[in-house]
Structure 1
């Protein structure tokens, strides 16, 4: 699939200078760009790479002299990284899933398949499931009973969708995601050591032989529109009410969302984030990689947590967090600076102790 530079400029809302008839088949880093590629040279540091490659056109930084760089044309955009979103969307053909229903798919007679949907090989769709118009389900996908998939959804290979799960329009589920597994809920007949520790913050109490009894998950999962869930991410069903992921939210690979969690709109959770059960999360919350969130707490709108932060208590709206346990980012930075000074401080205290001891001895 190739596009003229004129077409790309229109798609990106970019300013075009030079020959708009050039045909572009791919995007490339400057040093690796051939004559059919659009070089992504969005900073002056990439100019050297243009000289090493063979690109005829590039997206350049504002003010660049494209003629002096040996190009036949250039695109200029106000926000280069945002332009990447439009460019990759234009050039991404997506997974190849043939239209219609593959002969090897197993579909319950009571399921509803929307107009224009594409069902790949070895897909299984359970009783009363509803697949929206133009939805695409890649090979080995599983859709359980009473689940609903919205219009234009993309369900990649090996995704598992549990019973009664509701998925909105234009949702993308990456390979291996599991939506609607049982929540991790167990209880003991008498008060457990874990409950004692929570209350005492340290004392587990007398050891008793106890077994864990399952609390079954009667809820499901509800996912809004325009949500993306990464590869091998897991979202557990709720115990009574549904676990919810708000519209526009994006979850990276290996994210785990526990039972009953409520996630707001336009949140961004990076790889290996873990959210324990019954957490409420506001809108536009960003959790960097390996952030952990304790159960039964609230995180307000617009909170940002840096990588590996562990959030144990409620986080107010707009707070920027870092560390273990989580604290204001500026406080964590100052604390870490003080921690690094400790060896020097200990040495100074030791010297002072020596001086005091010598004076005491002389007296």
Structure 2
């Protein structure tokens, strides 16, 4: 695939400079791109001066607004008013995606009652259950399984090895990365008598008689509902609800190795980064960002527009718009003061020791 500098700039809503007829064949790092040859070349991503220093004269590049292509000896350039947004458009233009041959592979096993939309591509060893509805232009990679009565919207991209359970509902433009599991049973069990967990929640740690306990499964009768434009990362897992559905709102992006427990509700346009874990029945608002390794306790609510820094542990309700950090998570300014105070502790300990010696001497003299 190749497009001209002019065509690419127009598609990105950006301004072009230089020989706009040069054809772009792909993107590359500034240090690895070569001068344009035969009217075509790779476009260097040099959207700050520190990256542009590695550019080779005669190459083509994306620059930030205000940078001067003449000073780098470029053949052509595209100016990025918002560099990362332009980078999103550029990478989309050159992303070939997985190789899934159009049509249905002969090794796929598809129940006769399933409905497969027009122009679908179904890879080898895919299993699609009874009553499944798969929208038009779906691409389903090898070894994917889709359980009975699942309904998936238009333009889905399901990478190899993903698992979609029965009755799962997803909107349009769903993307699921390899190995993700949507709609497994929730982790929910009960004991005939009050369990140790219930006891310490009631007593805040005090234990009475410790006895044998047998766990009995609470089955998951709910499902998982995903909105439009949802992306699920590799090896992420979303459990089905116990009675009501586990829900993920439209536009939410979920990273690799994220875990959503049963009955969790996540709002629209959220970012859940790698290794986030949200325990059962918790509610997350719209536009929430949970950085890597954030943990959310069960049965709590997080308001809209909350940002939680990496490894934060959330045990209580978080109001809308708050930025939090730490374990337990508190306002970021409070956590920074805590960290400063902790760094002072060795000095405080030395000062206290000297003070104790002084007081002891004074008492001995008195």
1:42 counterpart (38, 44, 47): 47
Structure 1, residues 140-160: CA drift from partner, whole Å, max 9, x if none?
A: 000010001110010100000
What pairs with 1:98-177 in structure 2 (closer than 5 Å)?
98-177=101-180
Instruction: Using structure 1 for the length normalisation, give the TM-score.
Output: 0.98
- CA drift at 1:68: 2.3
2:67 equivalent to 1:93 = no
Report the equivalent of 2:354: 351
Tell me the SS of whatever aligns to 2:44. strand
Report the equivalent of 2:29: 29
Instruction: Check the 8 A contact 1:293/1:311 in 2, yes or no.
Output: yes
Structure 1, residues 151-171: CA drift from partner, whole Å, max 9, x if none?
A: 001010000000000011001
What pairs with 1:217-236 in structure 2 (closer than 5 Å)?
217-236=220-239
Tell me the SS of whatever aligns to 2:69. coil
Report the equivalent of 1:202: 205
Structure 1 CA distance, aligned partners of 2:217 and 2:158? 31
2:2 equivalent to 1:2 = yes
Report the equivalent of 1:264: 267
Instruction: Check the 8 A contact 1:37/1:55 in 2, yes or no.
Output: no
Tell me the SS of whatever aligns to 1:241. coil
Larger deviation, residues 198-207 vs 342-351: 198-207
Report the equivalent of 1:67: 70
2:319 equivalent to 1:279 = no
- CA drift at 1:193: 0.6
Q: Supply the RMSD in Å over aligned alpha carbons.
A: 0.9
Report the equivalent of 2:246: 243
Structure 2 CA distance, aligned partners of 1:360 and 1:170? 78
Structure 2 CA distance, aligned partners of 1:204 and 1:263? 35
Structure 2 CA distance, aligned partners of 1:217 and 1:47? 55
Q: Mind listing any 5+ residue stretches in structure 1 that lack a counterpart?
A: none
Report the equivalent of 1:325: 328
- CA drift at 1:77: 1.6
Instruction: Check the 8 A contact 2:47/2:80 in 1, yes or no.
Output: no
Report the equivalent of 2:299: 296
Structure 1, residues 257-311: CA drift from partner, whole Å, max 9, x if none?
A: 0000011100100000000000011100100000000000011000110000000
2:86 equivalent to 1:83 = yes
Structure 1 CA distance, aligned partners of 2:322 and 2:256? 25
Instruction: Check the 8 A contact 1:127/1:146 in 2, yes or no.
Output: yes
Structure 1, residues 89-115: CA drift from partner, whole Å, max 9, x if none?
A: 111111111111111100000100011
Aligned residues: 361
- CA drift at 1:63: 2.2
Larger deviation, residues 32-41 vs 272-281: 32-41
Q: Mind listing any 5+ residue stretches in structure 2 that lack a counterpart?
A: none
Structure 1, residues 325-346: CA drift from partner, whole Å, max 9, x if none?
A: 1100100010111011011001
Instruction: Check the 8 A contact 1:37/1:57 in 2, yes or no.
Output: yes
- CA drift at 1:221: 0.3
